[in-house]
Structure 1
Amino acid sequence: MVIYVNTHAALEQLREHAESLGMQKEEARGPALMIVGPTDVGKSTVCRILCNYAVRVGRTPTFVDLDVGQGSISLPGTVGAHYIEKTADVVEGFEKKSPLVYHFGSLTPSSNIVLYDLLVKQVAEVVAKRRKLSSDANYGGVIINTCGWVKGEGYACLVNAAEQFEVDVVIVLDHERLYNELQRDLPSFVKILHQPKSGGVENRSREMRIAARNAAVHKYFYGTRSHPLYPHSFEVKFEEVAICKIGGDRLPPECLPFGMKVEDHRTKVVKVEPSPSLMHHLVSVSPCANVDQTVLTTSIMGFLVVTAVDMEKRQLTVLSPRPYPLPSKVLILSEVTFVDDKVRT
């Protein structure tokens, strides 16, 4: 724990230095810190500790979570950012009044790297705008959690994230090779530190990861024992919703009219016809009025789970945090699934 106290102290010095420059009318900002490392080295825990320390000394850092598989800001299959004003509750975690959340729709960046990099850029731009509007957010800095994919294209995603967020400090947990590669590839002004993983971190099996993801979705709809939630189940007619997904089939260039270019199918928003295959899938509720490319970079409102599909009656049964009607008709299909085993009467 001493190493994290020292890390916090160093970050606080950077915040104080930025404030002193700001008082002299110079452009300055608090530190942008990115935590990287393979799976099961405690990246999320370090982020949580450093955010808590910052809040305790009166700071309001922005926490960014780019881990689409085991993120802590929202549900699996998303990336997002959250302005931290209170320390995290032991059970509930950080208070999330209005987090910025974007739909990715899968559990690993490798399923659609083009989309992942685009969303990282989108989050970085929104966070940068927030920092320009708020001095507290500016000097509080940014703390970024990342995925555990650190080789090949995964490494390229980390470098891209560092560039988009203009990070000043990178902490590499328990991976000397990654530390050396980042020393080589990131700008010289970026301070790169190598730290050991916490002694309490244990390796998680595939089953444990699946259980953790299911627990996150369950908590979203049903809350915890101390703060239970009571979701609603209701039917929605096919005509009431417009379902889409991000990423379509690739169209061969020879099938296009002369002079037209091939759109990147990986970031194309395409409509999805209701079918039994939607059963148990998570869907994100988008505030967009129609299914078009704006869905891609618009922060989502919340989530539903499709619990039944009746093709004869042309209706879906959904699990929802709020009662009927839906706040928006545009739903984005995710690969993430959740089997709701609660019996409601």
Structure 2
Amino acid sequence: MTEDKKSLLQEYKLEPDNELRFEVEAKAEKVYLTLKNGLAEIFGTEIVKGKTYEFTAGAKVAVYTWQGCTIEVKGKTDVIYTAKETPMVLYSNCHAALEIMRSESEKENKRGPITMIMGPTDVGKSTLCKILLNYAIRMGRRPIYVDIDVGQSTISIPGTLGALVVERPSSIDEGFSQEAPLVFNFGHKSPEHNSKLYKMIIDQLAVIVKERLEVNKKTRHSGVIINTCGWVKGEGYKQLLHTGKSFEVDVILVLDQERLYNELVRDMPNYVKIVFLQKSGGVVERSQHARSEIRDQRIREYFYGTTKKQLYPHSFDVKWSEIKLFKIGAPPLPDSCLPHGMKPEDHLTKLVALTPNPGILHHILAVSFAEKEDDNVILSHVAGFVCVSSIDTERQTLTLLSPQPKPLPNNILVLSEIQFMDSH
């Protein structure tokens, strides 16, 4: 295994079951990759021979080949090396086992496997989800992808939980098509900020996903793949158990932590298949700063798109009187303030009306699908997100950054703790 900093044009000949891994320099312009001969894939998506793919600053790429290939890389990489030991055969075996379960579900006309991927932070859970989804699609399946990792969500912006019917492989440089995802606003970077609310949204998401499985036969047999967050101890572990039971999972793939694997074997029902997998050697730990930068990048892409697919968001003013602003969670009332014998309401899941104020500047607001505030706003999925870019207390107006022009699809807005400083 060689590891060094390379620039300009390099050609790499890969043996079967080898993986070329590289990271694009943070300050680099772009890195270009071309498959010259043989067969190769990136996270389960096949590379088209002769086509040039471009990767921007910060991208982490792993090119895997089953039969051997020649790859040309042009541009400055932070690190580039060929790995001769990879867990791809194990991951492929997991896909094959899921495919057997899907075939059985077709014969018996029941739902396909619901698979959950667990492990601590930075072990490659999202990557494994992508590989398994891409392999399923290449077999003609239409699985549902569920992402409940609110810190680094791949379906929508950070602070959300979401589900998506995946119909075609992820594009190598853009990811999965984000058409019509189902998105719920949680509004925090970690479930621990409001575990009761997180649990409620998980239950609601599970109900809707199971309904979707009943509606479409192809999706029902294809099953579900669930990505989870890296909080695996204490209350986080209890949340994972709750999620598994709520979604009625059949398979749990545990990455890199034997303790978690053994706890799940002890605590999950016997019919749930639990498999321990090693993480890829290409996975790197990200600092808090790096994770924060990735979150900002996700929000920026939501409004402005990527270098390949640019979006042009809108900025407009709305009067305070035109919107109904809420937040979830109120300060707890001390027992002494309550009538005798009355239990305190659960303050963590209480909907509280807000008057716009300077404290919401740069905060993300979720545009709810709830038709009126009496509807369950907390458990309504969202139409999209806007960001408060300025506040005029004298004129009582908010300036919003929005993916689409005025008017807003709905006037019920829910405050998120996630912030975004618009630098454009």
Partner of 1:255: 337
Shift of residue 6, structure 1, vs aligned partner = 1.1
1:233 correspondence with 2:320: no
> Is the 1:103–1:284 contact (alpha carbons within 8 Å) kept by the matching residues of 2?
yes
Q: Does 1:332 align with 2:419?
A: no
Aligned to 1:55: 137
Alignment equivalent of 2:378, drawn from 286, 296, 300: 296
Deviation of the 1:261 alpha carbon: 3.5
The separation in 2 between residues aligned to 1:110 and 1:128, in whole angstroms, is: 26
Matches of 2:240 and 2:349, distance apart in 1: 20
- 8 Å contact kept, 1:269–1:292: no
Deviation at 1:291, TM superposition (A): 2.9
Question: Partners in 2 of 1:147 and 1:292 — Cα distance?
Answer: 32
Partner of 1:103: 185
- Deviation for aligned residue 1:259: 5.7
Indicate which of 274, 282, 285 corresponds to 2:364.
282
Deviation at 1:5, TM superposition (A): 1.2
Determine if contact 1:283/1:306 at 8 Å carries over to the other structure: yes
Q: Which amino acid in 2 is paired with 1:243?
A: L
Matches of 2:215 and 2:125, distance apart in 1: 29
Whichever residue aligns with residue 156 of structure 1, its letter is K
Show CA shifts across 1:191-213 (max 9, x none): 10000001111000111101100
Shift of 1:251: 1.8
Greater helix percent: which structure? 1
What letter is aligned with 1:223?
G
By how many angstroms is 1:4 displaced? 1.4
Report sequence identity in percent.
Answer: 50
Between 1:4-13 and 1:253-262, the stretch displaced more is 253-262
Distance, in Å, in 2 between the alignment partners of 1:275 and 1:219 is 27
Q: Does 1:149 align with 2:231?
A: yes
The equivalent of 1:25 in structure 2 is none
Q: Does 1:73 align with 2:155?
A: yes
Give the Cα separation in 1 of the matches to 2:363 and 2:278. 38
Letter in 1 for 2:307: R
Indicate the SS of the match to 1:227: coil
TM superposition shift of 1:292: 4.0
TM-score (norm 2): 0.78
3-state SS of 2:379 partner: coil
In structure 1, the partner of 2:254 is 172
* Alpha-carbon shift at residue 97 of structure 1 (Å): 1.2
2:96 aligned partner? 9
Distance of 1:105 and 1:190 partners within structure 2: 31
Q: Which has the higher strand share?
A: 2
**Whole-Å Cα distance in 1 between the matches of residues 338 and 287 of structure 2?**
46
- Rounded to whole Å, the distance in 1 between the matches of 2:290 and 2:384 is 25
Q: How does 1:14-163 map to 2 (within 5 A)?
A: 14-22=101-109, 28-163=110-245
| Aligned-residue offset at 1:293 | 5.7
2-structure distance, mates of 1:323, 1:293: 26
Shift of 1:135: 1.1
Q: What SS class does the counterpart of residue 271 from structure 1 fall into?
A: strand
Describe the SS at the equivalent of 2:243: helix
Residue 52 of structure 1 aligns with an amino acid whose one-letter code is N
TM-superposition CA deviations, 1:125-162 (whole Å, max 9, x none):
00111111211111010000001000000000000000
* TM-score normalised by the chain length of structure 1: 0.96
- C-alpha displacement of 1:258: 4.9
User: Which has the larger Rg?
Assistant: 2
For 2:327 and 2:170, how far apart are their aligned partners in 1?
33
Does structure 2 conserve the Cα–Cα contact (< 8 Å) formed by 1:36 and 1:145?
A: yes
1:216-270: CA deviation from partner (whole Å, max 9, x where unpaired) = 0000000111110000011111111111111111123332345644221111111
Structure 1 contact 244–291 (Cα < 8 Å) conserved: no
Look up the equivalent residue of 2:417 and give its one-letter code: E
Please report how far the alpha carbon of residue 186 of structure 1 lies from its aligned counterpart in structure 2 after TM superposition: 0.2
Partner of 2:17 in structure 1?
A: none
The alignment of Structure 1 onto Structure 2 pairs a total of residues equal to 337
Name the structure 1 match of 2:299. 217
Supply the distance in 1 between the matched residues of 2:228 and 2:242 (Cα, whole angstroms): 12
Following TM superposition, by how much is the alpha carbon of 1:289 offset from its aligned partner in structure 2, in angstroms?
2.9
Write out per-residue CA displacement over residues 150-192 of structure 1, whole angstroms, 9 at most, x where no aligned residue: 0000000000000001111101000000000000000001110
Q: In structure 1, how many angstroms separate the alpha carbons of the residues matched to 2:171 and 2:363?
A: 29
Distance 1:273 1:137 in 2: 43
In 2: Cα distance, 1:309 partner to 1:288 partner: 25
CA apart distance, 1:59: 0.3
Residue 91 of structure 1: CA displacement? 2.2
**Alignment partner of 1:304: what SS?**
strand
SS of 2:100's equivalent?
Answer: helix
1:323 corresponds to 2:405: yes
Query: C-alpha distance in 2, partners of 1:283/1:147?
Result: 23
> 1:245 is matched with which residue?
327
Letter in structure 1 aligned against 2:195: I
Q: CA RMSD in A?
A: 1.1
| Distance (whole Å) between structure 1 residues aligned to residue 348 and residue 265 of structure 2 | 31
Structure 2 counterpart of 1:340, one-letter code = D
Which amino acid is 2:401 matched to?
Answer: L
Q: Which structure is higher in RCO with an 8 Å CA cutoff and minimum separation 6?
A: 1
Tell me which residue corresponds to 1:264.
346
User: Aligned to 1:225, what secondary structure does the other structure show?
Assistant: coil
Displacement of 1:118 in angstroms is 0.7
